[in-house]
Structure 1
């Protein structure tokens, strides 16, 4: 399974509902990850440009995309951004493939 980070920002209406009825969102996010065969690693709220992040494992890119689309479709978020993470131990393999790909690539105008 690949690990993903999902950055999110709530709409003002969502914040209003959460202030009116505070709740721990961890169980809902865990259920979402498990619904696509994944696993929730953690959920954090934060200050700054984004309101929070979710770290989750997903079996593949379709499942990770399904999580993002399902959540975005609710209208509760003003921003949703999902990224697949690369473990430090996997970087060497990525760089080896990049070296081979660079040999095959011809830049524009060359």
Structure 2
């Protein structure tokens, strides 16, 4: 499965929902949503600063990640939602073994 970092900022309505339902209710909601696309929750953290929530999740593929982004993004509960593809160190090792014939501009 692919691993993703989800960075979320709540809208005013979303923040009101967190205040009403509490933080653990949001964790359960995210677990349920991820399970619906065949994924699972690795970690969930609230934060203050640029984003309100950081989630690390595993989902089967990019299609499932897009489905999550669309569902959350159109809910009205968030003002921003960013999906970051995470790579393991072994993924990077494998990529570095691939020969690429690239010529930079001007060469």
Q: TM-score, normalised by structure 1?
A: 0.87
Structure-1 residue corresponding to 2:10: 10
Q: CA RMSD in A?
A: 1.3
- Which residues of structure 2 form unaligned runs of 5+? none
Structure-1 residue corresponding to 2:105: 108
SS in 2 for 1:30: helix
Number of aligned positions between the proteins: 105
Contact 2:13 2:76 (C-alpha < 8 Å) held by counterparts: no
Shift of 1:106: 1.8
Contact 2:46 2:52 (C-alpha < 8 Å) held by counterparts: yes
Q: TM-score, normalised by structure 2?
A: 0.89
Runs of 4+ aligned structure 1 residues displaced above 6 Å come to none
